[in-house]
Structure 1
Amino acid sequence: MRRFLWVVGFMVSGLFGTSLCAQRYDANPSAFFLPDEASETAKIMASGFISTGLDELSGVFTPDYKEFYYTVSHRNEFSALLYTRYEGGIWRYPEVVEFSGRYPDADPFLSPCGEVLYFSSQRPAGENDSGGVWNIWQVKRDGGGWGDPSLLAMNSLRHERFPSVTQKGDLYFYADYGSSLVTFDFQKANIYRAEKSETGYVLAEKLPATVNSAYADYTPLIAPDGSFLIFASRRPGGRGQSDLYISYWQEDGSWSEAVNLGSPVNSTDSDHYPLLTPDGKFLFFSSDRRILSPKPAEGATYSYFKRVGLGPGNGFNDIWFIQAPQK
């Protein structure tokens, strides 16, 4: 174990310049990842540790900031849930969550108490199911780990993704209910809400035209108190392939007209997968925007190509953070 910790410290030292993993953050574990004050400038999260040049999406902390969960995807062919945990005074190297890695899993979301983890998966829903349909699942804490995932599908035959839950337990997600295709129809993606009841959830309802459009609307993040909704959309008028928008819940029981969050949240590339830190100060989102790397004056070397081609900002999704919108 000591050798493992030394290797982690060495690797992160090479990535960040100093061995941050060797520093203790007992009073504030999130200080390893986040500044004290939220900035209005978008910044990449933990370059080389979380954002690595792979396809990283959907970052979320536990309420005590001692665990961080996210998705790693491989060219939309396979994805898994990863996490890193603060233990023994350091952040451990990321690893696949114990119940993930066999089937495509994505979109982790933690309940306000951190005892329930919601996620999307293509795992089989039963013995006679071959899998392949995106549905929403949940898994509860079981001692020091997680129990067995259970299906939380509104319609197990259609594709449902990106769960987000209020303090009351109401579930927001996106689905392709309007499609006749068997495969996931991203262009038919819209945002839905299922109200929590004593026995489960009532029939999911599609959010109104102030939120949904005739284009792909997806990855909804509902505020814990239900006061606002942030989501991605490919509707015309945005800055890039997909932009983040916000809509507010109003006193008359309606959703306000969705407004583009603008720059620096949105870029000329794809910006999506929004999530909040537990204190609501920071907005996480994923973006495939490129980070321009200056060409070396003495000429390009192999190390230069590796750093630019395999590192964060290479055109795959990275996780970014910025000051969260105010209510």
Structure 2
Amino acid sequence: MKDVCKSIILLLSTLVISGKSFSQEELAVLEGPYIGQKPPGLIPEVFAPSVSTEYRDWGGSFTPDMKEYYFGRRNNNSGKSSNVVFKSNNNRWHESIVPWGGFISPDGKTMHNGKQFRERIGDGWSELKSLGPLFEDFRIMRLTASLKGTYVFDEVGTNGDGILRYSRLVNGKREAPRPFSEEINTGKWTAHPFIAPDESYIIWDSERDGGYGDSDMYISFRQEDGSWGAAINFGEKINTDGEDGGGYVTPDGKYLFYCRRCVPPDFEIMWVDAQIIEKLRSK
């Protein structure tokens, strides 16, 4: 089953370029949590604080205090890509173009971008730094981290296929990355992982036999013996016959965000109540 993307109201009349401020008359006022968006239930909805079919939006990461939201944007007409941030100030959200983006660690101190990262400095971020020689040989699209410091990332192969790897932090020392077992590393285009802050589950996307489309979202729960359980497909409410992936859960644990290809080549960021994860856990 393929869901039809909802019509999207353009909430912002003008983008904020290079951090420039606009008056209330020029810019729609966005207030409250989640960039002023009405939270969804168990049926996914478009997360649309400033979305146009002209753009492809991908990724996304909130800071732990839920007051900053970073995501990537690509103009389908010009092909130009940019990183965007919404920041909340006095309960109002302001949009800016920024030179960086990526996954923000659960403690809010690090922004990961593949095999590189930035450290939090005041209300900004440091210059890019390398994760070091343990990661130099990997082609990484997305790296996420747990509260314990475990890295989970995708390794993109030369033929387009990929696998997921993990690297633990043990007694302050970083272990060499290792591949996950076949419960997770099965299928094609295995990519875009998210590890829960408490390491109780991993979310990723892949093309597998029995799936709904080009790529589906899956989840694996940590078992009592420390192993990872069988991959569970998120089902037809999340997955379509197109591309669905890039899932992650907001720092407050309330919502699952992911990306869906609506009308090619357009993507939209979707969100849904994270209770869907608990329903899958019960299986």
User: TM exceeds 0.5?
Assistant: yes
Pick from 261, 266, 270 the counterpart of residue 316 of structure 1.
266
* 1:79-134 CA-partner distances (Å, limit 9, x unpaired): 4432111124421123124xx3xxxxx6x2111221211122xxxxxxxxxxxxxx
* 1:222-258 CA-partner distances (Å, limit 9, x unpaired): 1111111111001222111100011111012211110
1:64 has 2:80 as partner = no
Structure 1 counterpart of 2:261, which letter?
D
Structure 2 counterpart of 1:42, which letter?
P
1:257 has 2:230 as partner = yes
* 1:161-202 CA-partner distances (Å, limit 9, x unpaired): 2111111010000003xx4x4xxx422x10110011345421
Distance 1:34 1:167, change over 3 A: farther
Q: Residues of 2 paired with 1:116 and 1:34: CA distance?
A: 29
The within-5 A match list for 1:163-202 is 163-176=143-156, 179=157, 181=158, 185-187=159-161, 189-202=162-175
Q: Kindly indicate whether the alpha-carbon contact (under 8 Å) linking 1:274 and 1:284 is maintained by their aligned counterparts in 2.
A: yes
2:211 corresponds to = 238
Higher helix share: 1
1:270 has 2:249 as partner = no
Structure 2 counterpart of 1:145, which letter?
G
Q: Kindly indicate whether the alpha-carbon contact (under 8 Å) linking 2:58 and 2:71 is maintained by their aligned counterparts in 1.
A: yes
Q: Kindly indicate whether the alpha-carbon contact (under 8 Å) linking 2:84 and 2:95 is maintained by their aligned counterparts in 1.
A: no
- DSSP 3-state at the match of 2:21: helix
Distance 1:91 1:52, change over 3 A: farther
Structure 2 counterpart of 1:233, which letter?
S
1:32 has 2:32 as partner = no
Pick from 3, 21, 33 the counterpart of residue 4 of structure 1.
21
Pick from 135, 138, 147 the counterpart of residue 155 of structure 1.
135
| Unaligned residue ranges in structure 2 (runs of 5+) | 1-15
What is the CA RMSD across the aligned residues, in angstroms? Answer: 2.5
Q: Residues of 2 paired with 1:257 and 1:51: CA distance?
A: 38
Q: Residues of 2 paired with 1:266 and 1:40: CA distance?
A: 13
Q: Residues of 1 paired with 2:37 and 2:227: CA distance?
A: 36
Q: Residues of 1 paired with 2:38 and 2:111: CA distance?
A: 22
Higher strand share: 2
Q: TM-score scaled to structure 2, two decimals? A: 0.82
Distance 1:199 1:79, change over 3 A: farther
| Unaligned residue ranges in structure 1 (runs of 5+) | 13-19, 101-105, 121-135, 291-313
Aligned sequence identity (%): 26
Distance 1:149 1:83, change over 3 A: same
The within-5 A match list for 1:26-175 is 29-30=33-34, 32-35=36-39, 38-46=40-48, 49-50=50-51, 53-73=54-74, 79-97=81-99, 100=100, 108-120=102-114, 136-152=115-131, 154-175=134-155
Q: Residues of 1 paired with 2:225 and 2:135: CA distance?
A: 30
